[in-house]
Amino acid sequence: MAVLLAVFLLVCGVYAIFGYSVSVMFGKPGYFHMTGDALWALSLSIGMAVLGLVMRARAQPVV
């Protein structure tokens, strides 16, 4: 489960970088706003994924 949470966060990060870089390269501020809106819509899921990874890391002691 933790792997899926980490992959989800990685995909969100890649999407953010890609969306913002496309808006800069092509000079289209609309892409910037669409990326921001999409990440805002996913903010609850992103927060829950981060919280899940933090709770899992705290629950399992490092040996």
pLDDT values of the chain reduced to their tens digit, one per residue, 63 residues: 778 888 998 999 898 888 888 888 888 888 888 888 988 999 999 999 999 888 888 887 766
The pLDDT score that the predictor gives to residue 25 is 87
The pLDDT score that the predictor gives to residue 30 is 82
The pLDDT score that the predictor gives to residue 63 is 65
What is the rounded distance in angstroms from the CA atom of residue 29 to the CA atom of residue 16?
14
Q: List the structure tokens of 8.
A: 């989800």
CB burial string 21-58: b at 16+ within 10 A, e below: eebeeeeeeebeeebeeebeebeeebeebeebbeeeee
**Tokens 């709770």 — which residue?**
55
The pTM of the full predicted model, rounded to 2 decimals, is 0.72
